[in-house]
């Protein structure tokens, strides 16, 4: 399945550790998600930017360069596993729409009703590709405009409408505007994790990883407070927390973290058996899941031995 990543720090930093160097970095995850790569961020003036290509992160020198050099207080990254639509730039995440950066992991049906709602909101002009994710992003953007630019209210309105009217498998997403960062896990089908990491202290060891084949560290990230959101834990730290089913997480421009549960269950929930072959394949990787479970078991054993 696609993989989401977002970082919010108390000052502009590089995310190289998480994007390239960590044991389960985004470039590592791209081995299973090779249909597109993108990074969105906000510059020193608060203006949003997105760079993306329909190529695998692990084979892209451009991705490695951007991941190493880019500095921002808030950024979103995505590696894509297509659910059946073409590997084209227009279908690659994140999407930048009216100053909002959005990336999605999951499946929802693009119904006539969804198209009509996006058209009613004046946001159909924003859709350039074929993906359900882009239609969801356009809906969020249209609702945000109706709610006078308030991304929180627009996101809640859009997701509430989708849950009531559209068949849904997973709506996991990250979205940002003006350095407000939001993350949603809904329903529990796909995981989404958060790590709220204070500067320094006993959490510093989580940013220095070593094994027989790898040693990675980040002095810069060790010295700042940061919040990381990811589709799976990116290292073996016990500081990762799995978002609850239906949890909407918010990180403010100054770093305050809030959480709420504003949504009802989907009225038309899809199971894996309801998906087409390409959709189902994009959401289920047996080898990936087995490796992740083995890694967690190993980490749990090591923590018990150390206790």
Domain membership flag for residue 128: no
From start to end of the chain, where are the E strands?
3-13, 37-42, 48-53, 72-79, 95-97, 100-105, 172-177, 180-185, 193-197, 208-210, 215-217, 226-230, 241-242, 247-251, 257-260
Domain membership flag for residue 113: no
> Which runs of consecutive H residues, i.e. helices, occur in the chain?
16, 26-29, 61-69, 112-120, 132-146, 151-165, 219-222, 277-283, 286-306
Using CA atoms, how far apart are residues 73 and 234, in angstroms rounded to an integer? 19
Inter-residue contact 185 to 244 (CB < 8 Å): yes
Inter-residue contact 148 to 128 (CB < 8 Å): no
Domain membership flag for residue 67: yes
Domain membership flag for residue 178: yes
Residue 203 pLDDT level (bands cut at 50, 70, 90): very low
| 75 SS3 class | strand
User: Could you tell me the two tokens for 97?
Assistant: 């729409």
Higher pLDDT, 155 or 235: 155
Domain membership flag for residue 188: yes
Residues 175-191 have pLDDT tens digits of 999 989 999 999 999 99
Say how many domains are in the chain.
1
Query: How many other β-carbons are positioned within 10 Å of the β-carbon of residue 91?
Result: 22
Q: 220: domain range?
A: 3-105+172-306
Domain membership flag for residue 123: no
Residues 89-125 have pLDDT tens digits of 888 989 999 999 999 999 999 999 999 999 999 999 9
Using CA atoms, how far apart are residues 212 and 86, in angstroms rounded to an integer? 39
| Lowest model confidence (mean pLDDT) among 4-13, 55-64, 240-249, 275-284 | 275-284
Inter-residue contact 52 to 38 (CB < 8 Å): yes
Rg (C-alpha) for the chain, rounded Å, is: 18
Q: What is the mean pLDDT of residues 41-47?
A: 94
Domain membership flag for residue 218: yes
pLDDT beyond 80 at 257:
yes
CATH value at residue 277: 3.60.20.10
Over 56-69, what HEC string results?
A: CHHHCHHHHHHHHH
Domain membership flag for residue 117: no
- The tally of CA atoms less than 13 A away on the side-chain side of residue 12 is 10
Residues 273-297 have pLDDT tens digits of 877 655 555 555 444 555 556 656 6
């Amino acid at each position: 399945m696609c993989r989401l990543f977002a970082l919010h720090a108390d000052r502009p930093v590089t995310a190289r550790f998480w994007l390239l160097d960590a044991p389960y970095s985004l470039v590592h995850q791209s081995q299973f998600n090779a249909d597109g790569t993108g990074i969105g961020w906000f510059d020193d003036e608060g203006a949003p930017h997105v760079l993306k290509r329909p190529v695998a992160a692990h084979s892209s020198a451009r991705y490695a360069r951007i991941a190493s050099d880019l500095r921002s207080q808030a950024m979103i990254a995505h590696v894509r596993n297509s659910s059946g639509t073409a590997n084209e730039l227009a279908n690659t995440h994140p999407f930048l729409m009216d100053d909002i950066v959005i990336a999605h992991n999951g499946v929802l049906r693009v119904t006539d009703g969804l198209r009509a709602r996006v058209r009613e909101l004046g946001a159909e002009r924003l859709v350039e590709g074929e993906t359900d994710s882009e239609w969801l992003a356009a809906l969020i953007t249209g609702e945000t405009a109706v709610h006078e630019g308030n991304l929180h209210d627009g996101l809640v309105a859009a997701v509430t409408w989708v849950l009531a009217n559209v068949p849904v498998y997973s709506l996991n997403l990250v979205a940002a505007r003006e350095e407000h960062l939001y993350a949603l896990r809904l329903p529990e089908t796909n995981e989404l994790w958060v790590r709220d990491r204070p500067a320094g202290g006993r959490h510093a060891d989580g940013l220095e990883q070593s094994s027989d084949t790898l040693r990675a560290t980040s002095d810069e990230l060790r010295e700042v407070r940061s919040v990381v959101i990811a589709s799976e834990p990116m290292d073996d730290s016990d500081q990762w927390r799995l978002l609850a089913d239906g949890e909407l997480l918010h990180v403010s421009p100054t770093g305050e973290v809030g959480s709420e549960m504003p949504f009802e269950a989907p009225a038309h929930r899809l199971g894996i058996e309801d998906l087409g072959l390409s959709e189902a394949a994009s959401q289920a990787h047996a080898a990936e899941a087995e490796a992740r479970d083995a890694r967690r078991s190993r980490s749990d054993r090591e923590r018990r031995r150390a206790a």
